[in-house]
């Protein structure tokens, strides 16, 4: 499993039912092979989300190597671009996940945002932004695009985020997007920071 990304970090402030556009796991004999889901291009004024690629590792190393941007992930900040490349590869290979590069025009990755479907109808979101891309509203715009895609195109009924209680900026960002603070899971993660609680943020389709 890839390291746990906080619901929204770096903007420091930083059962799969094969929904539309996705595919089920393929079964061959006794083996189940996870099929990578495609992340379609999504856009709004001044932002384009495109499929994340391994070639984005160099650009995203700036975020993953930043102790502040990477602070609330389960593993410490990366020390090499190869770690970031492997992180991207592991995330892309995870079953039920769609992962986008956050860009201004479809070019260089300024961050990444992922939508995973742990069970039918439910999506979980995680994101990280490069420090120089923070404070420009890109995380908010990316979240809005993913929410619209998840509810309107995939037909999900619930979106959630798992956020460290000390990540005040992330909590605020999700609250502004209409998510509700639903509860606290004590001792939910063991990370490089120690045993950490989780605040669960959720939003239902209207």
25-37 confidence digits (pLDDT tens): 332 333 434 456 7
Q: How many Cβ atoms sit within 10 Å of the Cβ of residue 198? A: 20
Q: Could you tell me the residue ranges of all domains in the chain?
A: 47-159
Residue 201: which pLDDT band, with cuts at 50, 70 and 90? Answer: very high
Q: In the structure encoding, which two tokens stand for residue 188, read together?
A: 């939910």
Q: For 47-159, CATH number?
A: 3.40.630.30
Q: Which residues pair with 141 in a beta bridge?
A: none
Residue 61 CA to residue 73 CA, distance in Å, equals 14
Is pLDDT at 59 greater than 50 in this prediction? yes
Q: Which residues pair with 42 in a beta bridge?
A: 49
- The model carries a pTM of 0.82
With the CA atoms of 103, 106, 108 and 114 taken in that order, what torsion angle do they form, in degrees rounded to the nearest 10?
50
Is pLDDT at 145 greater than 60 in this prediction? yes
Q: How many Cβ atoms sit within 10 Å of the Cβ of residue 186? A: 9
């Amino acid at each position: 499993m890839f390291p746990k990304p906080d619901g929204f970090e770096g903007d420091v402030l930083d059962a799969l039912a094969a929904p539309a556009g996705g595919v089920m796991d393929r079964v061959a004999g006794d083996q189940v092979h996870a099929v990578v889901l495609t992340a379609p291009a999504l856009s709004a004024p001044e932002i384009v989300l495109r499929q994340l690629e391994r070639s984005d590792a160099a650009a995203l190393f700036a975020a993953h190597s930043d102790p502040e941007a990477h602070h609330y992930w389960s593993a410490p900040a990366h020390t090499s671009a190869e770690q970031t490349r492997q992180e991207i590869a592991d995330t892309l290979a995870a079953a039920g996940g769609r992962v986008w590069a956050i860009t201004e025009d479809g070019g260089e990755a300024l961050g990444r945002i992922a939508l995973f479907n742990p069970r039918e109808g439910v999506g979980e979101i995680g994101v990280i932004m490069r420090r120089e891309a923070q404070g420009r509203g890109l995380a908010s715009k990316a979240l809005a695009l993913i929410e619209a895609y998840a509810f309107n195109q995939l037909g999900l009924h619930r979106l959630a985020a798992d956020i460290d209680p000390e990540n005040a900026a992330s909590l605020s960002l999700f609250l502004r997007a209409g998510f509700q603070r639903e509860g606290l899971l004590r001792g939910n993660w063991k990370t490089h920071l120690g045993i950490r609680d989780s605040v669960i943020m959720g939003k239902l389709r209207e």
